[in-house]
């Protein structure tokens, strides 16, 4: 096996949406997601059987960047599977979240090298044409984490249900406010392109708050800047792009506080954005009266829930599982196996989500940071 790294480079029963895997894919969860010793032993046997005597399968994993702990964990999960599956793995990434040109180059390299398939977390719709060309050339292409638009740009997506992830933190925020006015800052990723994780999480959060939206529309929903949420009145004080990155999100949060110092709820697209927002909140001396909700479930954010951070809740997702399932699917297909199927009622395969908070509220299932720390990543 070789690795080539591109320089572009009741509690546990409450976990929501962790669903059964399709029978056509023999499954191995990464160590942080495995459920028992017997399951791990059985899965290892399946992997050994699948790869024994088979020629190597060449796969490229292309993440959005190589800085975000989520994508670092995804890369580590793929590396961990490569030996067991007899996969010749190439890993690359965009220079930063949103870098479509870098991902296009990596897709073209995979095609030129005659690889069997590509796993990609798309940086935006600009990569769609390159994906289509790769599929025309016979590569099986799987999206991880971020469903493309349209969904059938790839053969299948393994991802969190991002609407549900946003819905959970929205429900939690609404219940925690307990009827107080909600003055909301929304720290999205982009304002110049549509990326499914961005608008699905945004829309899901609004839905969870009880603000009337159709969260399934493939763009950011247009809602009034003020109105009623479940339990009280809301005002959307700002919607700022933080590029899904910590430094840019700190600036975005500073801008929001300048626009409206009364902000008491912050929705952040991911945990780097949440950490940036938290830095701005602390610098303004507002730790005690602003709560941040976000999505990812990495170990750093899970730990911060117990350390007085403004981050109070996060929806945990499972990047190593996404990588593991994707690797297995392409290896199986390359060796004559069947293609995986989407989850019933969805246009992707749901890899699960759980709300993590140390301040549970009635009617919203959650796990605490102790439980989440045993299955977190990063």
pLDDT at res. 7: 35
Is 254 inside any structural domain? yes
147 in the same domain as 26? yes
In-domain check, residue 12: no
Asked if residue 311 and residue 329 are part of one domain, the reply reads no
Q: Is residue 2 part of a domain?
A: no
pLDDT tops 70 at residue 14: no
- Rounded alpha-carbon distances, angstroms, from residue 272 to 34, 185, 300, 311: 26, 16, 10, 11
Same domain, 345 and 367: no
Q: Are residues 294 and 216 in the same domain?
A: yes
- What 79-83 contacts at long range (C-beta under 8 Å, 24+ apart), as own/partner pairs, is 79/3, 80/30, 80/31, 80/320, 80/324, 81/28, 81/47, 81/323, 81/324, 81/327, 81/328, 82/1, 82/3, 82/327, 83/1
pLDDT-based confidence at residue 26 (cuts at 50, 70, 90): very low
Average pLDDT over residues 249-259: 98
Query: Do residues 173 and 300 share a domain?
Result: yes
Domain identity same for 115 and 139? yes
Which residues, listed in sequence order, are joined to residue 89 by a DSSP beta bridge? 3, 59
* pLDDT at residue 332, as a whole number: 97
The Cβ-side half-sphere exposure at 340, using a 13 Å CA radius, reads 30
Enclosing domain of residue 248: 162-316+355-373
Per-residue confidence band for 258, with pLDDT thresholds at 50, 70 and 90 = very high
Q: Return the DSSP state at 56.
A: P
Cα–Cα dist 214/221, whole Å: 7
Q: Is residue 83 part of a domain?
A: yes
- Domain assignment of residue 312, yes or no: yes
| Same-domain check for residues 197 and 341 | no
- The yes-or-no verdict on residue 18 having pLDDT over 50 is no
- Candidate from 36-45, 176-185, 351-360 with smallest mean pLDDT: 36-45
Q: Can you give the pLDDT at residue 303? A: 97
Are 257 and 330 part of one and the same domain?
Answer: no
Are residues 140 and 47 located together in one domain of the fold?
A: yes
The gap between the terminal CA atoms of the chain, to the nearest Å, is 24
Contact 136, 162 (CB under 8 A): no
* pLDDT of res. 54: 75
Number of domains in the chain: 2
Does residue 133 lie in a domain region?
A: yes
292 and 198 housed in the same domain: yes
Which pLDDT score, from 0 to 100, does residue 40 have? 29
pLDDT in tens, 53-112: 478 999 999 999 999 999 999 999 999 999 999 999 999 999 999 999 999 999 999 999
- Is residue 287 one of the residues assigned to a domain? yes
Work out the mean pLDDT of the chain and round it to a whole number: 88
Domain assignment present for 8 = no
pLDDT tops 60 at residue 52:
no
Say how far apart CA 134 and CA 132 lie, in whole Å.
Answer: 5
- The confidence score (pLDDT) of residue 16 equals 36
Same domain, 190 and 241: yes
Classify residue 214 as exposed, middle or buried by CB count within 10 Å of its CB (0-12, 13-18, 19+).
exposed
pLDDT surpassing 60 at residue 296: yes
Asked if 233 and 145 sit in the same domain, the reply is no
Average pLDDT over residues 126-137: 98
CATH of the domain at 260: 3.40.50.2300
pTM of the predicted model as reported, rounded to 2 decimal places: 0.85
Q: Summarize the confidence of residues 7-11 as an average pLDDT.
A: 36
Confidence of residue 13 (pLDDT cuts 50, 70, 90): very low
């Amino acid at each position: 096996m070789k690795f080539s790294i591109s320089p572009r480079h009741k509690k546990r029963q409450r976990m929501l949406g962790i669903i059964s895997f399709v029978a056509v894919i023999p499954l191995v969860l990464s160590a942080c997601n495995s459920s028992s010793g017997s399951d791990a032993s059985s899965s290892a046997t399946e992997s050994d059987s699948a790869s024994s005597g088979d020629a190597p399968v060449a796969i490229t994993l292309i993440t959005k960047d190589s800085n975000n702990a989520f994508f670092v964990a995804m890369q580590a999960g793929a590396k961990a599977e490569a030996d067991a599956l007899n996969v010749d793995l190439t890993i690359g990434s965009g220079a930063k979240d949103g870098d479509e040109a870098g991902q296009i180059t990596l897709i073209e390299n995979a095609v030129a090298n005659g690889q069997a398939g590509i796993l990609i977390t798309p940086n935006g719709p600009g990569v769609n044409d390159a994906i289509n060309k790769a599929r025309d050339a016979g590569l099986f292409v799987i999206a991880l984490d971020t469903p493309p638009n349209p969904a059938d740009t790839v053969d299948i997506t393994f991802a969190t249900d991002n609407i549900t992830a946003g819905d959970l933190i929205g429900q939690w925020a609404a219940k925690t406010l307990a009827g107080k006015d909600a003055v909301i800052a929304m720290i999205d990723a982009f304002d110049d392109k549509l990326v499914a994780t961005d608008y699905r999480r945004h829309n899901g959060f609004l839905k969870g708050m009880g603000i009337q939206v159709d969260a399934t529309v493939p763009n950011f929903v247009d809602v009034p800047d003020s109105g009623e949420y479940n339990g009280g009145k809301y005002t959307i004080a700002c919607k700022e792009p933080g590029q899904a990155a910590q430094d840019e999100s700190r600036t975005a949060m500073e801008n929001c506080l300048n626009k409206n110092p009364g902000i008491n709820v912050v929705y952040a697209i991911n945990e780097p954005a949440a950490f940036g927002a938290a830095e701005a909140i602390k610098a303004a001396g507002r730790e005690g009266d602003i709560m941040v909700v976000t999505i990812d479930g990495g170990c750093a954010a899970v730990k911060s829930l117990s350390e007085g951070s403004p981050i109070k809740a996060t929806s945990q997702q499972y990047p190593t599982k996404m990588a593991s399932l994707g690797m297995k699917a392409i290896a199986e297909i390359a060796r004559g196996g069947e293609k995986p199927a989407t989850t019933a009622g969805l246009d992707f395969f749901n890899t699960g989500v759980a709300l993590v908070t140390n301040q549970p509220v009635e009617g919203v299932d959650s796990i605490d940071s102790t439980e989440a720390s045993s299955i977190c990543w990063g």
